Structure 1
Amino acid sequence: MKTNLKALASLALVLALPSGYAQTASSGTTSSTPKSTHRKVHRAAKPEGPSVQSQIDSLRTDMQTQIQSLKQQLSDKDAQLQQAQQAAAAAQQAAQQAQAAAQQAQQGNTDNTTAVNSLQGAVTDLKSNNASIVQTVQDNQKQTQAAIEHPDALHYKGITLSPTGSFIEAATVYRNEALGADINTPFNSIPFNGADNANISEFFGTGRQSRLALLAEGKLTNNWTLRGYYEMDWLGAGVTSNNNESNSYVLRQRQLWAQAESNSGWIFTAGQMWSLATQTKTGMINRTEVLPATIDPQYNAGFVWERQYGARIVKSLDNKQVWLGLSIENPQTLTPSCQATGTGIACPYNYIIGAAGSGGGLYNGGGAPGATSSAPLATYSFNVAPDMIAKAVFEPKGLGHYEVFGIARFFRNRVYPNAPAPVAGVVTPVPQVGAYNDSTVGGGIGGSGFYTVKKLVDLNVNGLWGDGVGRYGSSTLPDLTLRPDGQLALLHGFSALGQVTFHATPRLDAYFNYGGDYAFRRYFAVPGGTEGYGSPAIRDSGCGIEVTPSNVPQVGYQPNAPAGCGSPTKDVQEITAGYWYDFYRGPMGRFRQSIQYSYFDRYGWSGTGGTPKGNDNVFETSFRYYLP
């Protein structure tokens, strides 16, 4: 740029010289300065130098040459500048490319770093996964070994078999009034105070309540589960097995049922099982029955139960908060109980309601008339229809478990209105005209409630009220008596039980129960006396007087009930307190120990001269090992 300015300045100077020269010449020509008066002196002529014009032309030529040179230089500079600009652009482009390459290289390095980090993470994860896989394999090996050596269930063709619920028990019982009974207490046999055995105690040790259980379970499809359950113990007695309450024949079949359950909430069960009237803890699910926490296998006075044949249908509703169930169950009418008062008055004899068992029909025929006794040890009623039970269960979330149920029972006997009076020891079959079957319907309503307070205390009540429902109470008080004409007369009755269980520690449970079974009196006036159940005219003046024992059929083994004490049982009440303590509970099973005390009161209906009463103090112990 400076070179160009210099060239332009030189060009301006050159152009200015001719103009200056012209002005000088012109001024010399027109000047008014006077001519010199001196004499002209002639001097020798000097050679002429180059003219101004020629100098100007020469200078112009030089200037033009310089200008051309400058132009050439400017052109060269421009060319150089353009080349420099092109080189700079190329360099910039190259720099950009280099920067892009550098960025790409940096991104590549970043990607490589990320890849390396990812690879390192993958390697770390792989190591961790390998360690986890190794741990899983080891755990699986341990589980497999444990399943082989300590299986929770046995597997057979897709079915699991589990003995959970089985235990071995060593138990003892002490009663201050003897009953001649094993660990189970026949509540309605507690002697009145004047009985011979009310004045002597008894002690027995037993292992017969030990139990074997086996549950088989398998999936039929994705929607159905099939189950079978068997449970037995050794508490049966061959000559007294019956259908009264626990239809448990030797080898004692406690439970034996099959079941199909759908995912939609339908459950179909049939076989020997707890009655639908028995309280459950979860819905109407078998094997969740809420049994009193006692050692005594007769449980507690007031407990509502049966264990017998049944077929039931159950449906859960409203997300398993409501359950509905219907069952038909094995019927049995307990032997009618009747007492007569007055001279020459006897209870009806002109009817038939059942028979001793038929050995050929696999029912117990021990003591059948004509064999070794005039009184059978077990009787079976001729039933017209099964017992029917309908039940509803409500389980509001977090608010416990509640049940309401109804029982329908059907009774029948055959009446012979023209039967002659019986003669002792004489069988006199007489043709009858006008015999007929007498039928009546009984039943009752019941309910229960179970609630746990903060996982520390269980509160539980259950009860049943109705006509002809005695066999559903743990004391098995009678269902009915007889009218003077031989027809059946149902007895009002009820059973009720309250239970409180304290979970004092994870190993210790303490329990307190109070319950009772009650049978109302029902009697009929006849000329000269009464017939029926619990008449106030019955003589009870001898209830507290001990009498001489019988010597038939064997001396020394026949305690007698007091004479002049004829009233039947009004109620049986029981108070129980005890505990269960787990010495060990773990993968090898459970060891439990219990001590229990029970106090019984048995009251008869008040009659003439007194009110029959008996009581018993019972201490029981148990030591059990449960299979895991």
Structure 2
Amino acid sequence: MGTVLASGPLLLCLGAPAMAAGDEASLDALEQQIARIQSEQKALQKALVSVQKQIAAHRSVAHAGGAAAHHGLAAHQLASLDAADHEAGIAVHSADHEEEAGVHHLVGGRFHTGGPDAQPVFGGADDTPTVESVVGHRAEDVISRLAENGVGPHSRETAGAQAAGALGDHGVFHLGPVTLILGGFLDASAVESNRHTASGTFNFWQATPFRNEPRYHTDNFEGSARYSRLSLMARGNIDSYSTISGVFEMDFGAGADTTDAYESNSYAFRMRQAYLAYDNSKENFHFLAGQAWSMLTPGRVGIIPRQESLPETIESSMLAGQTWARQLQFRFVKDFLNHRLWTGLSIENSATLYSTGSFSNGTSDGQVIIPGGQTVTVGSSGVGLTNDALFPNEIAPDVIGKIAWDPHWGHYEVEGILHFPHDRVSTLGSGQNHTAVGGGGGGSMILPVIPHKVEVRLAGLAGYGIGRYGSVLLPDATLKANGAPSPLFSLQGTAGIIAHPNPLIDVYGYFGYQQAGRSYFSEGGQAYGYGNPAYNNTGCYTELSGNCAAGSNIHSVMEATIGAWYRFFKGRYGTVEAGVQLAYSRIHAWDGNGGAPDTSLSELFMDFRYLPFQ
């Protein structure tokens, strides 16, 4: 068929009259013939792909119990690859996509594409297609072979996908064997709250005022474009089985000493993510090195970057009780059973968050004086190219392990972490190091109630010394009477339901909770530690009273929120969307002398966002 279709236009070319020099009519006729040939070639390519899909569909039905199951795809899914492309997140070029992505060509008897999207690969032992690459509705969210779990990679272009570091499917450039992919968005967000927290759309719940502070009694409006984001991904195929990629992601979320909130609002450029990833689909091995979302962060499919399960909130701190961090790590992942069982080990940067406010300050930052007079060093201020933030003493990195399971319905994870708080207790002429052992475990699940339309998300983490992995940033540890670290119990969890009633609208609702334990002692009539019942809370209900220790002894934070996104422009120029979110938080302090005070925070978030690469 290809010979007949191609030879007809070719004979026309050969039979064209000889052109005299300057014969414009002949040149025009030849150009028209070239255009017709190109058009017929495109039609032939579309026809070939369509025929191959039909053959694959029929054969996959015949082998439904064998080969199709082996590749993790049901027979009816193979028969409707085009329809599943958008809804299930498995990107297979349809005829409409072929013109945009590039011309297909035969390599070794298999169809490939010049563009970055995944392709069905034909020519196996039984001629059934495998999926060479699977993407989260965007061509660069590539990981070789993922099992269909009803949840899948990010199948929609949501704020949550962008928060997870996903990139768009526009802005793709090819430099030799390397593909460069631009991502990010321009963001204009604002919040109206019933308390003055001065933190913008990023909630720092521990700074929420109690009734003794004037800020408790004033409303606040604040808006900014500082969370606009820019990302760049470079990806190259080493061979037919392995891919290497590098990701940079930045925004303007940092505040420098020169930030001027009255005039220029010049927030500082900051690094969100910067990592390299290597994926080998033959050995089913995956490696990541650099700064990325911690492996403790819940995922959507497998254990891979850019598929983290994060709430779609406008709120930049995401949600109270959400487990996450972005930090340096070296991650090793292996998958089994046709990409349904995943195991991962990650060595990640450690940063113990101490509560030492009840102790006297030492001679330098990071030092406190315990009742016996010894100096305890828990960290040091940054020097050189770092800023003045406190960098804690750390004897070892955090060690994180995770197992993920992707059956045909849902995504399920269990995880564990080991953490080692470390300090030094000194007297004149001598000293002693102390190391504690902390850690814990948890898990998450995504239940696709209506696959790719409605899903329920549940996640939780509990243990000792791991409070900083929750959005509230409750402390990891305080000090014992001898100055040794005392890891605090930590509990955090989230639950949410997310609906996509149509391609233009996302609706969500979440509940989050996080709490910290207590560790304290008293000596010489003074109270020390965290959550001490002898702390003075008598003035927490009286404006301008200074007798309120509640703010530095938070017991728990609860947040309930609902919101929606609406995409009112969408095309080759990108996507423009608007979002609105209502949030209510309740903060409870540990009980002390004067009771257990609490406070609350009500917020209305608004956002306009332009995603030029989606």
- Per the TM superposition, whether the score is higher than 0.5 is yes
Change (3 A) 1:572 1:161: same
Query: Who is 1:474 aligned against?
Result: 471
2:191 to 160, 166, 173: 173
Matches within 5 A, 1:244-263: 250-263=268-281
Matches within 5 A, 1:206-217: 206-217=224-235
Residue-by-residue CA offset, 1:357-410 (whole Å, 9 max, x unaligned): 11x2x1112xxxxxxxxxxxx21112111111011001111x200111111111
Query: Who is 1:409 aligned against?
Result: 419
Matched residues, number: 457
Deviation at 1:540, TM superposition (A): 1.1
Query: Who is 1:392 aligned against?
Result: 403
More helix by share: 1
Change (3 A) 1:615 1:240: farther
Change (3 A) 1:596 1:124: closer
Residue-by-residue CA offset, 1:506-554 (whole Å, 9 max, x unaligned): 2111111110110012222435354221111222111111117xxxxxx
Change (3 A) 1:571 1:212: same
Matched AA of 2:432:
Y
Q: Which moved more, 1:195-204 or 1:151-160?
A: 151-160
- C-alpha separation between the residues in 2 aligned to 1:439 and 1:194? 38
Mapped contact 1:340–1:530 kept (Cα < 8 A): no
- C-alpha separation between the residues in 1 aligned to 2:258 and 2:401? 31
Deviation at 1:283, TM superposition (A): 0.5
The root-mean-square deviation of aligned C-alpha atoms, in Å, is 3.2
- C-alpha separation between the residues in 1 aligned to 2:585 and 2:372? 30
Unaligned runs of 5+ in 1: 1-117, 242-248, 366-377, 419-430, 549-560
Residue-by-residue CA offset, 1:414-469 (whole Å, 9 max, x unaligned): 012x4xxxxxxxxxxxx333x11011111110100011112321100111100000
Q: Return the TM-score normalized by structure 1.
A: 0.68
Deviation at 1:347, TM superposition (A): 9.3
1:379 to 379, 385, 390: 390
Matches within 5 A, 1:31-180: 133-137=37-41, 143=100, 152-164=171-183, 166-180=184-198
- C-alpha separation between the residues in 2 aligned to 1:317 and 1:129? 54
Change (3 A) 1:576 1:352: same
- C-alpha separation between the residues in 2 aligned to 1:122 and 1:212? 49
Change (3 A) 1:291 1:202: same
- C-alpha separation between the residues in 2 aligned to 1:519 and 1:313? 31
Alignment of 1:223 with 2:247, yes or no, is: no
Q: Secondary structure at the match of 2:437?
A: strand
Residue-by-residue CA offset, 1:128-182 (whole Å, 9 max, x unaligned): 999995424567996489999x965100121111113x11011111111001112
- C-alpha separation between the residues in 2 aligned to 1:472 and 1:238? 24
Deviation at 1:502, TM superposition (A): 1.5
Matched AA of 1:135:
S
Change (3 A) 1:170 1:138: same
Query: Who is 1:286 aligned against?
Result: 305
Query: Who is 1:609 aligned against?
Result: 594
Matched AA of 2:337:
D
2:207 to 189, 210, 220: 189
Mapped contact 2:206–2:552 kept (Cα < 8 A): no
Mapped contact 2:370–2:481 kept (Cα < 8 A): no
Q: Secondary structure at the match of 2:39?
A: helix
Unaligned runs of 5+ in 2: 13-34, 46-97, 104-113, 116-168, 260-266, 361-368
Deviation at 1:183, TM superposition (A): 1.9
Residue-by-residue CA offset, 1:244-271 (whole Å, 9 max, x unaligned): xxxxx95210011011111121111101
- C-alpha separation between the residues in 2 aligned to 1:467 and 1:167? 38
Matched AA of 1:504:
P
Matched AA of 1:237:
G
Identity of aligned residues (%): 33
Mapped contact 1:348–1:485 kept (Cα < 8 A): no
Change (3 A) 1:483 1:575: same
Q: Secondary structure at the match of 1:504?
A: strand
- C-alpha separation between the residues in 1 aligned to 2:226 and 2:549? 38
Q: Which moved more, 1:345-354 or 1:126-135?
A: 126-135
Mapped contact 2:550–2:590 kept (Cα < 8 A): no
Q: Return the TM-score normalized by structure 2.
A: 0.69
Query: Who is 1:363 aligned against?
Result: 386
1:200 to 218, 221, 244: 218
